[in-house]
Each structure stands twice: as structure tokens, then as C-alpha cells.
């Protein structure tokens, strides 16, 4: 997967320890807004980054092609592009394809070839197989194969844009000031224990689910082994990848509500479970018995996004920061309050979420964005 030079740390260090910056904003009315504020907010936390990675997730991005899966693909060379494009045409009905527009500039490191494809599953899936499962299988085959290619975004009406550089420079490279969406997430820095390359930056994504992460998951090995039993192929050797796949398993495939999925990732202590009422205690014991290998050990704060909702979650004892705020229809999550106030100084409410408790904001108007009713809990 890409050559060693593509994965090298351009700053010369084997491992650069620094903080991460994460930021998210959703307009709960479903209104699409430009990303200039989000770009300024993540740039305000520049000192939490180290230039080894930055990225953004945008929802409501492709209204004219909202029914197609938007596959964002990076290539190491033209030969891999030709091979993967032949595979895509055999596997999907390709409705539209194009180069991802970019501004060529020196502040991002060795950009790969970047293209996007809008595809329908059509009659390609096996009888009884859902379209989402079919797309996941094709993405796993490309990313886990011998191709010098990587699918880094695969949802409908959304897209991930990421690379090696500071997030504000990645935003400029991808011309994100020209896009609009009702939900934006952003990340600065890079996974703590992996080499710098374009596919390894945040957000990590599968279908319409994206994750930006500040922290370090020491349970990566057991998490990875559990997910591989469900045919997830963890090829990036980084902890955030398993968070994305774990949430896809819990939320999409097993249809758990986010409140229960959070109790899998940030599970209560057994001493807490023992004090619960019998019915609730039985539920939490069942979760631990079923999903014990998906418990995330170590410090973490994540912002999860999918169509119509944004979710914030920290580990039980809040070893990484998270601030939440509301201003009118806008709901914010951020590593630092200062980043929120930079773009919205007069907030209606600002607070620190409880450790291990998910904080959820949803679009409230089906007419506005074709999504679920709003909730900020």
C-alpha cells in the first residue's frame, strides 16, 4: 500500500508526541453552511498538531448525486488507477467520475493521485445482500489487496478529505472553502503510533460513518481480532480504524442505539454494574459478555458523525478533553472552548460532557435534510 516514501514522516522523527485537535459542528436545522468557520476553528488549535495529518468530514456535500455512493480514492500511480477503475466498473454502475479538485501547493506532503466516483450497486450484489454490505466488501477488497490504492470515503452525500499536513493546509489543498454541508468534523495531528501517510490521517470512515479521535487505544490487538471475525479487514495498523469498524458493527449491523454502543466502547466498571437494578444489570452484563473484546482501553475522545447526527464520547475518566456548546441551531464539539468561541463568541450554552456518556445532536427536520428528528441529549 503505497511506497515507503509515501508513508515516511517528512519531519524526520520516528514518533512525534503531541496533542490532537478535534472539532465538529452540526446545524440541527439541516441548513448547509460553508466550512470557513470550521477551518478557522481547527487552525486555532494549530499547536496541538504536528503537521503529520489533517482532515475533514462533510455531510450534505453532494445534493445532486445524493443517492449514489461517493467513493474517494487515492492512488500511488497510474497503473493502480487503471486497475482499480476496471474493478469499479465491473463491480458497480459508475454514474459519474472525476478528479478531486485541488490547489497544488507546497504545504502538504507528496499528494497522491485523487479521484472520486459516484456509483450505484444496481444488480451487482448477491441475492439477499444489502447494498451497504456489498459496498463494504468492495472497499475492504481494494484496501486490503495488492493495489497501490486506498478508498478513504465511501458514503452517500458525504465525503472525507484528508492528508499529510496541518489541517488548515489540507483544507486549502482540497479547496474546502468551496464546499457546503450541514455537518462538519475536523482533525489535526496524526495517529500516535503509525507512520505519516495520506490514508492514515483522520477522519477514518466506512460508508457514511466517520471518526476523529484524540487519544491512544491500547486494546487495539483484541479489538482488531474481534472485528476480523465479522470480516472487517484492519489494514492500517492504527487504533482509530478499529473504532470506526466497531461502531459500524454496533450501530449499523447490530442496530444498537448509540447509548448502548457507548457502554460497549467505554464500559462501566463491574463495581458500577453490580449496583444497578436487576433488569439493567442483566443488560450490562450481556453487553460485556457479548462485546467484551470491543471495550476500548486507554485515553480517548472521539467525535463520530453519520447522516443526520454527530456524537461525542470520551473514556470513563475523561483523560482527553471535550467541550460542547450550542448557539441557536448550531451544536459544537471541540478539544478547546477557545476554538468554538472564535467562530461563535456569544454561545447560548457551553459545558463539559460526562465521561463515558454519549452526547448526541441530530438534525430535527426531515424536510430540511431528509433525516431524523433532532435531539441534543
The pLDDT assigned to 187 comes to: 94
1, 20, 142, 273: the catalytic one is 20
Instruction: Decide: 212 and 25 in contact? Cβ < 8 Å.
Output: no
Query: Would you kindly state where each structural domain of the chain is located, as residue ranges?
Result: 4-214+316-369
The pLDDT assigned to 343 comes to: 95
Determine phi and psi for 252, rounding to 5 degrees: -90, -50
In CATH, what number does 4-214+316-369 get? 3.60.20.10
CA-wise closest residue to 263 among 354, 357, 353, 355: 357
- Please work out, in degrees rounded to the nearest 5, the angle formed at the alpha carbon of residue 248 by the alpha carbons of 244 and 249: 120
Q: What is the side-by-side order of every strand in the sheet holding 300-306?
A: 204-206, 209-215, 300-306, 309-314, 359-362
The pLDDT assigned to 7 comes to: 45
What mean pLDDT value characterizes the chain?
88
pLDDT of 70-87, one tens digit each?
999 999 999 999 999 999
CA-wise closest residue to 60 among 250, 340, 306: 306
Count of other CB atoms within 10 angstroms of residue 235: 14
The pLDDT assigned to 18 comes to: 52
3-class SS at 117?
strand
3-state SS string over 96-114?
EEEECCCCCCCCCCCCCEE
20 catalytic per annotation: yes
DSSP for 144-187, written as a single string: HSSSSEEEEE--BSEEEEEESS-HHHHHHHTTGGG-EESEEEEE
Instruction: Decide: 266 and 219 in contact? Cβ < 8 Å.
Output: no
Q: CA 369, CA 335: separation in Å to the nearest integer?
A: 27
Does the N-terminal peptide bond of residue 254 adopt cis geometry, omega within 30 degrees of 0? Answer: no
Task: Calculate the CA dihedral of residues 64, 185, 182, 308 and round it to 10 degrees.
Answer: 90
pTM exceeding 0.75: yes
Q: Which residues of the chain have pLDDT under 50?
A: 1, 3-11, 366-377
3-class SS at 124?
coil
The pLDDT assigned to 375 comes to: 44
The pLDDT assigned to 370 comes to: 41
CA-wise closest residue to 188 among 13, 23, 321, 14: 23
Q: How far is CA 98 from CA 71, 72, 76, in A?
A: 11, 10, 17
Amino acid at each position: 500500500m503505497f511506497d515507503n516514501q509515501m508513508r515516511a514522516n517528512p519531519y524526520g522523527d520516528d514518533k512525534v508526541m503531541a496533542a490532537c485537535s478535534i472539532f465538529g459542528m452540526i446545524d440541527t436545522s439541516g441548513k448547509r453552511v460553508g466550512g470557513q468557520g470550521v477551518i478557522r476553528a481547527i487552525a486555532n488549535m494549530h499547536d496541538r498538531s504536528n503537521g503529520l495529518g489533517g482532515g475533514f468530514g462533510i455531510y450534505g456535500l453532494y445534493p445532486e448525486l445524493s443517492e449514489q455512493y461517493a467513493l474517494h480514492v487515492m492512488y500511488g500511480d497510474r497503473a493502480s488507477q487503471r486497475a482499480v477503475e476496471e474493478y469499479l466498473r465491473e463491480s458497480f454502475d459508475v454514474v459519474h467520475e472525476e478528479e478531486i479538485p485541488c490547489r497544488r501547493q507546497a504545504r502538504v506532503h507528496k499528494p497522491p493521485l485523487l479521484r472520486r466516483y459516484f456509483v450505484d450497486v444496481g444488480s451487482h450484489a448477491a441475492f439477499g445482500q444489502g447494498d451497504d454490505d456489498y459496498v463494504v466488501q468492495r472497499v475492504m477488497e481494494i484496501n486490503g489487496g495488492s493495489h497501490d490504492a486506498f478508498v478513504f470515503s465511501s458514503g452517500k452525500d458525504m465525503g472525507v478529505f484528508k492528508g499529510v499536513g496541518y489541517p488548515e493546509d489540507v483544507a486549502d489543498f482540497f479547496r474546502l472553502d468551496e464546499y457546503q454541508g450541514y455537518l462538519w468534523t475536523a482533525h489535526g495531528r496524526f495517529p500516535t503510533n503509525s507512520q505519516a501517510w495520506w490514508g492514515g490521517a483522520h477522519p477514518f470512515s466506512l460508508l457514511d460513518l466517520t471518526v476523529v479521535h484524540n487519544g491512544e487505544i491500547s486494546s487495539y490487538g483484541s479489538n482488531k481480532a474481534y472485528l476480523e471475525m465479522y470480516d472487517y479487514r484492519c489494514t492500517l495498523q492504527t487504533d482509530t480504524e478499529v473504532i470506526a469498524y466497531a461502531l459500524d458493527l454496533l450501530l449499523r449491523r447490530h442496530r444498537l442505539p448509540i447509548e448502548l454502543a457507548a457502554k460497549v466502547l467505554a464500559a462501566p466498571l463491574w463495581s458500577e454494574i453490580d449496583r444497578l437494578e436487576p433488569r439493567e444489570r442483566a443488560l450490562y452484563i450481556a453487553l460485556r459478555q457479548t462485546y467484551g473484546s470491543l471495550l476500548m482501553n486507554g485515553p480517548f475522545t472521539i467525535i463520530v458523525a453519520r447522516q443526520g447526527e454527530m456524537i461525542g464520547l470520551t473514556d470513563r475518566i475523561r483523560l482527553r478533553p471535550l467541550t460542547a456548546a450550542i448557539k441557536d441551531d448550531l451544536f459544537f464539539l471541540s478539544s478547546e472552548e477557545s476554538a468554538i468561541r472564535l467562530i461563535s463568541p456569544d454561545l447560548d450554552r457551553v459545558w463539559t460532557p460526562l465521561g463515558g456518556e454519549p452526547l448526541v445532536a441530530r438534525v430535527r427536520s426531515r424536510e430540511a435534510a431528509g433525516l431524523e428528528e433532532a435531539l441534543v441529549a
